[in-house]
Structure 1
């Protein structure tokens, strides 16, 4: 049989050849598409990996021998978290940071409402209410719920209850306030956050230092690094925290309890086993061996253990979490 006709255009041979060419073209397209997809996936993974890096920064207070607490957490995607903020007179320094991020804060963590922690935020919230052109947009405010009756009944002069009352007067009008409890967990701009201490029944039963001992202690962690924030929690809370969270405490970095003075014990810090620590007080407190301070003892013990010491004299001080 003569197959010559099959080799003519429109014959079976040409059809088979066309099909083979089409299949080959599809294979090449799929291969090219696969390579393009894998390259995009690798580029995205590299970009995501770069974004999974956070900077925790400590800022010095306004001076005058006053202790305070002001930290930020930022990432390469432009997110901003503020922790406390210091005294009312620290407002200008806090605003300088906020302006660099377009006056937008993803989360503001208020460990407790003592004036050396919440004063600057109180001033900012008051300005927000008056319609200032410096309005700060805060997505979420995280804090603790205080037993107001017990706090006001036990407060001392140094508590400056008016700072707490101002904070409540501002935040009770807002819908973005979240009260955290022991063992709460959340995603904090990609970091894992867990609460180890907040106001609870044990705090209710105390006779003094309720606001300090009811403040937020929490740990933030990435895949490789972590940092523990102790706020103003003092030694009275240690036994319960150790009983429930002992295995979770080890962290690369730690913000020392109650500014590094009259705070937590070395037994607690030994369990955390940090490689670097943050004091939130001036030299007149941390290095004072003449008055009723114990910060210098903690300073010496942590130095002897090989910890890097971050202090206001070198602030702003920053560490990276990955």
Structure 2
């Protein structure tokens, strides 16, 4: 009887030790993740146009910018950069439309802010002239500034599935220019960026459209497309397909969407416009997303760890 009691006591002690080790391991992992946290800020719109801009701070205080916005959004981005280190370590331009790339152009041309690396995916100018002539000037403006002496040696044309490691963030380029897609041409040639930090994944879609959504689904494994956080394509309307969002299955949605577009308001009140924001909002509601972070609500920062 005494031996049985001793065996039971030893088993109980062993179980308690294993439980304690598990608790300590979980606690250590949480501490390490917290130390490796990043901060992601979705920038507000500062004019009457839609725009898109994100600024990310890594664990070692490196600054990453994705797009930036329009001319009227430039000062806000400058202030955000100066609140950090005063320079940009990595700048990703998803495509050359002015509501995405103008801040970058202005900062290169008109400020002394240092930019260490620039990543783009661009077609030849003749392609823009043929398939989106009314907006070729926007591609020309970006191409011109990329030749500026301050940055021309720091520009990289990304490759499909290229990996870029930035401190504790592993970036992978899932989508690049698609010269064969000539419908909604420039948007469908948006860069798509997957970022992984700790066990969290963020997916930036730029202005991905229907056709490039279909290409992503066809060419990328579903596990690569799944993400905890997704940037809603084309400002949350008439962009990526419902099928793609179902595959992504996000917990948090980043909406680069101004108030008027969120409300589908063309000036005559809510739902007076022809935009498809409400349709996209329904898709996301059906996915039971936990949090929507919307451009209309101002500069919003989340910590990811």
The TM-score by the shorter chain falls in which range?
0.7 to 0.9
Q: Deviations over 1:147-170 (max 9, x none)?
A: 22111222143x3x3232122112
Task: Verify the 8 A CA contact 1:54 1:320 in the aligned structure 2.
Answer: yes
TM-score normalised by length of structure 2: 0.82
Mapped partners of 1:268, 1:49: distance in 2:
29
Structure 2 vs 1, CA of residues 172 and 47 (structure 1 numbering), >3 Å: closer, same or farther? farther
Instruction: Say whether 1:257 aligns with 2:239.
Output: no
SS at match of 1:277: strand
> Which residue does the alignment assign to 2:23?
none
Mapped partners of 2:40, 2:94: distance in 1:
16
> Which among 136, 143, 150 is matched to residue 127 of structure 2?
150
Instruction: Say whether 1:58 aligns with 2:42.
Output: yes
TM-score normalised by length of structure 1: 0.78
After the TM superposition, which segments of 4 or more aligned residues of structure 1 sit over 6 Å from their partners? 45-48
Unpaired runs of 5+ residues, structure 2, are 1-28, 265-270
Structure 2 vs 1, CA of residues 277 and 46 (structure 1 numbering), >3 Å: closer, same or farther? closer
Q: CA deviation at 1:312?
A: 2.1
Instruction: Say whether 1:269 aligns with 2:251.
Output: no
Q: CA deviation at 1:146?
A: 1.6
Q: CA deviation at 1:224?
A: 1.3
> Which residue does the alignment assign to 1:178?
156
Q: How many residues align?
A: 266
> Which residue does the alignment assign to 1:7?
none
Q: Deviations over 1:120-141 (max 9, x none)?
A: 11111112xxxxxx40111100
**Worse overlay, 242-251 or 219-228:** 242-251
> Which among 179, 182, 199 is matched to residue 204 of structure 1?
179
> Which residue does the alignment assign to 1:216?
191
Task: Verify the 8 A CA contact 2:202 2:230 in the aligned structure 1.
Answer: yes
**Worse overlay, 80-89 or 203-212:** 203-212
Q: Deviations over 1:17-68 (max 9, x none)?
A: xxxxxxxxxxxxxxxxxxxxxxxxxxxx99965441111110111131x111
Unpaired runs of 5+ residues, structure 1, are 1-44, 128-133
Mapped partners of 2:235, 2:88: distance in 1:
24
SS at match of 1:218: strand
> Which residue does the alignment assign to 2:165?
187
Mapped partners of 1:51, 1:171: distance in 2:
35
> Which among 116, 120, 129 is matched to residue 99 of structure 2?
116
Mapped partners of 2:96, 2:167: distance in 1:
24
Mapped partners of 1:242, 1:221: distance in 2:
19
Instruction: Say whether 1:106 aligns with 2:89.
Output: yes
Mapped partners of 2:69, 2:212: distance in 1:
23
Task: Verify the 8 A CA contact 2:236 2:257 in the aligned structure 1.
Answer: yes
Mapped partners of 1:113, 1:313: distance in 2:
23
Mapped partners of 1:179, 1:302: distance in 2:
33
**Worse overlay, 235-244 or 213-222:** 235-244
Mapped partners of 1:163, 1:259: distance in 2:
18
> Which among 233, 245, 261 is matched to residue 285 of structure 1?
261
